[in-house]
Amino acid sequence: MTPKQRFWLSRFFIAVFLITTPLILAYAAGYHINWRYLKLERTGLLEIKTEPAKAKATIDELKAWLIKPKDLTTPLKLKNLRPGNYTVKLDLEGYHSWKKTLTINPAETTFAKNIRLFKKSTPELIFSLPNETDLTLADWAKDNDYSLNSKQLSTSSINYFLNDKQLADNWLDTQGLKSVCQLTNKKLALAKEFELWLVDVEEKETTLLGRFSKPIKQLICLPDNDNYLIYGHDSSWELIELDNRQNHNIWRLAELQQLSKSAINKKGDRLYFYGRLHDQNGLFSLEL
């Protein structure tokens, strides 16, 4: 190699060092280059936890990255994400998928930590009843046989949870109220005939969760999680996620011919109800 070649080669490596070192230091400090606007931007962090764990995460926006993480499973923490929207899908065999668009902001952590994945299951017949049975009159044989959680049973009276003093300002519209139950965070879920509401008693705020074409007949608050609510129409069980980022996820848990009285067990992993399925009346259970 001639002296001239060595001179220019050394200058090349010095230039590479002077260019790449600031970029590496900036990346380590939580910055990235926005090439569109030619400026440095702070990156963000995404943290995801699920129950159960080991769910596979798919994030569409990472597919275009030259260097991207592999085998993303929960619990998951991703650093140095460019600000913007990320479409996250979580899959676990035997469970309903979860999907939502989450926003990453500069120098902030976006959390999705209260995610519970629910099993794909079918109602199991515990015992049958004569077809002429009026299911609205059916009652539990022995509550202890199924370890039911009576605290999560819904009622048609708002006064079971709120007294006259708490309602004195007329801030809560209870007209047409069909059922109400209390979440573990002390918020209330209210079902009117075609509407589902979330009520923050301390802040005296109400949030409409959804309007439906079919009447809401059943309402169940989970005993172990305040991010989900189970409700039933005449012939189906559905589940709604209360996290309202982008939208409220809704899943169809089961379809029946008729749905009547219901309750959930103390662990919050099995739903019991009287109903009609495959032309058979009886008491059924649904694994959650």
Looking at residue 271, what is its pLDDT?
Answer: 93
User: Cβ neighbours of residue 171 under 8 Å, at least 6 residues apart?
Assistant: 204
Which pair of tokens denotes residue 227?
């991010």
pLDDT digits (tens, 9 = 90+) for 125-182: 999 999 888 888 877 655 456 777 666 567 888 888 888 888 888 899 888 999 999 9
Global confidence as pTM: 0.83
- 47 vs 22: which has the higher pLDDT: 47
Average pLDDT in the 3-18 region?
59
Token pair belonging to 277: 């399925």
Residue 24 corresponds to which amino acid? I
Look at 17 and 245; give whichever has higher pLDDT. Answer: 245
246-287: pLDDT as tens digits: 889 999 999 999 999 888 988 899 999 999 999 999 999 999
Q: What mean pLDDT comes out for the span 59-72? A: 67
Q: Is the pLDDT of residue 37 over 90?
A: no
On the question of pLDDT at 227 being above 70, the answer is yes
**Strand-pair category, 188-192 with 205-211:** unpaired
For residue 96, give the amino acid letter. Answer: H
DSSP labels, 37-106: TTEEEE-EEEEEEEESS--EEEEGGGTT-SS---S-BSSEEEEEEPSEEEEEEEE-TTB--EEEEEEE-T
In whole angstroms, how far apart are CA 257 and each of 35, 59, 175, 217, 233?
58, 38, 29, 14, 11
When pLDDT is cut at 50, 70 and 90, the band that residue 66 belongs to is very low
Reduced to 3 states (helix: H, G, I; strand: E, B; else coil), residue 260 is strand
The predicted structure's pLDDT at residue 35: 47
Q: Which residues contact 127 (CB under 8 A, 6 or more apart)?
A: 282, 283
pLDDT at 102 over 90: yes
State the pLDDT at residue 280: 95
Give the pLDDT band (50/70/90) at residue 5. Answer: low
Q: pLDDT at position 156, please? A: 85
DSSP class of 155: B
Residue 6 has pLDDT above 70, yes or no: no
The whole-angstrom separation of Cα 153 and Cα 171 is 24
Q: State the pLDDT at residue 113.
A: 87
The CATH topology of domain 43-116 is: Immunoglobulin-like (2.60.40)
The domain ranges of the chain are: 3-34, 43-116, 124-287
Q: What is the mean pLDDT of the chain?
A: 84
Reference 193, options 210, 205, 207; nearest CA is: 210
